[in-house]
Chain A
Amino acid sequence: SPQVVWDTLGNRQFCSYKITTKTQNFCRNEYNLTGLCNRSSCPLANSQYATIREEKGRCYLYMKTIERAPFPRRLWERVLLSKNYEKALEEIDENLIYWPRFIRHKCKQRFTKITQYLIRIRKLTLKRQRKLVPLRRKIERREKRREEKALVAAQLDNAIEKELLERLKQDTYGDIYNFPIHAFDKALQQQDAESESESDAEKEEEDDEDADKREFVEADDSDLSDFEDMDKLETSSEEEEEEEVEKVSRSKSKGKTPLKGPARRKRPYIEIEYEEETEPATKTKAA
C-alpha cells in the first residue's frame, strides 16, 4: 500500500506537499527527512519512517511504524535527544536499530545540520545586532519637505555673510583687515560717543593709519590722495559704483579662481582707490 500511495500521489497525480521547480522536486511536508520529493523520503509513501525536528532549541526524533498506521493520533512517536552531540547520535542509533540504512544516515545528517545552525543562532545573539527600524513613508516625505522649506527660509549665505560682517565690525579679527572707510566709520562712531578731546587723539591715529596705508599703497603703485579722506561722502559713492562694476567682472571668475590668501586681498583694496583712467589696467590684472 505505500507503493500504491507513491504511484498515485508522489509520482503521477497531485500531492499537495510537492513543489516542482525546473531542476528538482521538493516536499513541503514537515516530517520529511531530506526535503526532496523522492520515493525513499516521502513520509506518506513509507510506512516506516523517522525524522529529526527541533523545537525551541531541543531536538526530537520522530518515528513512524506500520503498527500505528491506523491510529493517526499516535502515529508519530517522539523521543527527546540529549544535548550532547555524541550522546544524541548514539541515541539515534539505538532507537533506529534494525532500520534501513538510508533513514539512519539521513537522520544523523539532519541532526548535525540542525545542531550547527542552533550553535550559530546562539553565537549571533551574543553579538551586536543591527536593529531595523521601519520608516514611515508619510513621515519621511513630510520631513523631507519641511527640510527643504527650512533651507529656503534659512537663507544660509546671507546669514553667514551677515555674521561675518558683524564679527568684522566688532573687531574680532583685530588688525588683519584694514579698510580705510571702515576705520573711518569706526572713528566717527567713537567720536560721536566720546568727548572731543579724545577725538583729537583719534584723528592722530587716523593720520597714522593713513600714513601707513600710504606707504603700503605706494609699494603697489597706486596713489592715495589726501583729499579723499576728507571728502569721504563723495568717495564712498564713487567706490560703490566702482565696486559694482568690479563685482560684475569678478563674480564670473569667483568660482574658478580660488581665493589665494593675503596676496589677493590687496587687490580689491587697491582697485577701490584707482581712478577711472587706470580701470582697464586693473581689469586685465584681475582676469
Chain B
Amino acid sequence: AGDGSGPAGSAAQGGGPPAPERVLFPPTFSVSEIKNKQRRHFMFLRWKQQQRKEKLAAKKKRRKEREALGDKAPPKPIPKTIENQRVYDETTVDPNDEEVAFDEATDEFAPYFNRQTVPKILITTSDRPRGRTVRFCEQLSTVIPNSHVYYRRGLALKRIIPQCIARDFTDLIVINEDRNIPNGLLLCHLPDGPTAHFRMSSVRLRKEIKRKGKEPTEHAPEVILNNFTTRLGHSIGRMFASLFPHDPQFIGRQVATFHNQRDYIFFRFHRYIFKSEKKVGIQELGPRFTLKLRSLQKGTFDSKFGEYEWIHKRREMDTSRRKFHL
C-alpha cells in the first residue's frame, strides 16, 4: 500500500508545486513506469536534477579532500580517451622486433631504403578529370619532388603499368574523381610493389587554405610519419616514405606530414622555422587531404586476380569503436 501510494502521490505532484529538495523514490519505482507522458517527463527532469546535484556534491567533496591532503593527495586520474582505451592490436610493431626488421630489409621497399632507387612518381587521374582534380594533381606534383602529371586518356591501368616500369617510374598515383571532387587515391609501387587504395576526403587546394605561405619550392621535403603502429601501418608508412627522396634538403625547411589518427591519415605540408631551440613556427603551404585505407594488395594493380593483403570489411572491422587497424 505504501508503495502504491508513493508513486501515485509523487506523480500527482507533477506539474504542480515545485519539487521538494530531496525526493525519496521507493526502491521499486522507476520513472519509466508512469504512463502519462507529461508527468513522466516531469519526474524524469526531477530525477535528472537530483543526479546532477549529487554529482556536484561529490565533486566538491573530492576537491575538499584533495586540498586537505595537500601534497599527499593521490595523483589525478588520467582521463580516458579513445587512444587510451584502444583495443590492443597484436600486430603492433615493437621497435626492437627482429622479425619486423628482417622483413623490412627484404620487402619491396628495401631498394629504396638502401638507396638503390630514386623515387620517380607518375600522377594521373581517372577518365575525364574536371578542373579541381587537375589543379589538385598539379599541386600534388609540386609537393612531391620528381613527379610528373600525365593526362589519362581512357587508358587501362594494366597497360600503363608495364610502360611505366619500362620508363623507370617507381610509383604510380591515380586520383579518382567523382562529381568534380577527388575522392580516391590509388598508390601503386611499381616494380611489382604493393598497391594501396585509399578513400580521400576533405581535400583543400592551396587557395582554400587560410594563412598559407608562398608556393612550395623545389627542395626535397622532410617526411614525418606519425602513429603508424601496427604491421599494416608500418608498411603503409614505408610506402609513403618511399615517395619522397631519401635525403631531404634542410635548406628548404619544408616538411610533409602523414599523421595517422584513428585510422585516418592526415596529410599536411608545412614550412617550418626554428625561432629558438624550444620554439618552432610552422606555416602551412600546399594541399591537404585525409586518407582512409580501403585495401592493400600485394603486387601491382589487379582488382580481379590480385592477392589482397588487407581489405576493409565494414561488418567485421567497424564493430568496435576502440579498434583501429593502422
Contact = CB atoms under 8 A, between A and B. Distances in A.
A156 B277 contact: no
B276 A179 contact: yes
B283 A164 contact: no
A159 B283 contact: no
Contacts of A144: 201
B296 to A, nearest CB: 19
B252 to A, nearest CB: 9
A272 B214 CA distance: 27
A264 B211 contact: no
Contacts of A127: 154
A265 interface: yes
B266 A151 contact: yes
A157 B290 CA distance: 15
Interface stretch (A22-30, A35-43, A251-259): A251-259
B273 A151 contact: no
A156 B279 CA distance: 16
A128 B154 contact: yes
A160 B83 CA distance: 18
A164 B259 contact: no
A130 B178 CA distance: 11
A150 B255 contact: no
Interface string B100-134: 00000000000000000000000000110000000
A87 interface: no
Contacts of B314: 139
Interface string A238-269: 01000100010000001100110010110011
Interface residues of A, number: 45
B257 interface: yes
B274 interface: yes
26 contacts: A128-B154, A143-B292, A144-B201, A146-B262, A147-B201, A147-B264, A149-B262, A154-B266, A156-B266, A156-B268, A159-B226, A159-B257, A160-B259, A160-B282, A161-B272, A163-B224, A164-B282, A167-B222, A168-B280, A179-B276, A179-B277, A243-B275, A247-B275, A254-B283, A258-B271, A259-B283
A156 B289 CA distance: 13
What is the predominant secondary structure among interface residues of chain A facing chain B? helix
Given A153-B261, A176-B250, A258 B274 contact: no
Nearest to A176: B250
B82 interface: yes
A165 interface: yes
Given A139-B314, A160-B224, A154 B283 contact: no
A203 interface: no
Contacts of A176: 250-251
A161 B259 contact: no
Given A147-B201, A164-B255, A255-B283, A153 B81 contact: yes
B275 A268 contact: yes
Nearest to B157: A128
A99 interface: no
A161 B283 contact: no
Contacts of B259: 154, 156, 159-160
Nearest to B270: A160
B202 A147 contact: yes
B268 A160 contact: yes
B276 A243 contact: yes
Interface of B: 81-83, 126-127, 154, 156, 201-202, 211, 213-214, 222, 224, 226, 250-251, 253, 255, 257, 259, 261-264, 266, 268, 270-283, 290, 292, 314
A68 to B, nearest CB: 51
Given A139-B314, A160-B257, A150 B262 contact: yes
Nearest 9 pairs of A and B residues by beta carbon = A182-B277, A154-B261, A255-B211, A179-B277, A150-B262, A258-B213, A150-B261, A150-B264, A259-B273
A159 B255 CA distance: 13
Contact of A146 (B251, B264, B268, B277): B264
Contacts of B253: 259
A117 interface: no
A47 B75 CA distance: 98
Given A160-B257, A179-B274, A254-B281, 5 more contacts: A150-B261, A154-B259, A156-B259, A247-B275, A255-B283
A98 interface: no
B103 to A, nearest CB: 25
Contacts of B126: 130
Contacts of A272: 276
Contact of A168 (B255, B274, B282): B274
Interface in A134-175: 139, 143-144, 146-147, 149-151, 153-154, 156-157, 159-161, 163-165, 167-169, 173-174
A181 interface: yes
Contacts of B201: 143-144, 147
A216 interface: no
A177 B278 CA distance: 12
